[in-house]
Amino acid sequence: MEKLVIYLALNGVLVLTVSIIAGLFLYLAIRDDREQAAWHLLHAGGTARGVMLIALAAVIEYPVLSDWQLATMAWLFIIFTWTSMLAMGIRAVSGERGLRLTGTTANKSVYILYGLGTIAIFPACALLIYGFVKAL
């Protein structure tokens, strides 16, 4: 359990660091009057995801789940976080939104990464809810 807490918190801090760096690029986009929305998304979305992982690290002991369920849930949250961060980063650099699995490699990458994150987050949330309800 202790290692799981460390993995969640460490990944949360790493994501926050990427988010802070994205904030610098957001500043440059604002200063140079360039497209800002994707950098803002990476900066704000990264901050939210980093805080989510750190918060999860703080409460991971409360859901009543087996060790494998806890580990699966935690790693699914981490996978969701990094796939969406990578997708947002590619979007910010390339301008590709990833709305369909067509077009450029960057567009396809954003689409696939967002898809993988979406697949990961739902069972992660379901396990967390189940564990908390079971803890009641």
pLDDT in tens, the chain (136 residues): 799 999 999 999 999 999 999 999 999 999 999 999 999 999 999 999 999 999 999 999 999 999 999 999 999 999 999 999 999 999 999 999 999 999 999 999 999 999 999 999 999 999 999 999 999 9
- Closest of 124, 120, 46 to residue 86, by C-alpha: 46
pLDDT attached to residue 62: 97
Tokens of 39: 């950098």
Phi-psi region of 65 (alpha: psi -120 to 50; beta: other; left: phi over 0): beta
How many Å apart are CA 136 and CA 132, to the nearest integer?
7
pLDDT attached to residue 84: 97
| Amino acid (one-letter) located at 104 | T
Number of domains in the chain: 1
For 70-73, the CB contacts below 8 A with 24+ separation are 70/1, 70/4, 70/131, 71/4, 72/123, 72/127, 73/123, 73/124, 73/127, 73/128, 73/131
Domain that holds residue 67: 2-135
pLDDT attached to residue 1: 77
Q: Is 83 in contact with 45 (CB distance < 8 Å)?
A: no
pLDDT attached to residue 77: 98
* pTM metric for this prediction: 0.94
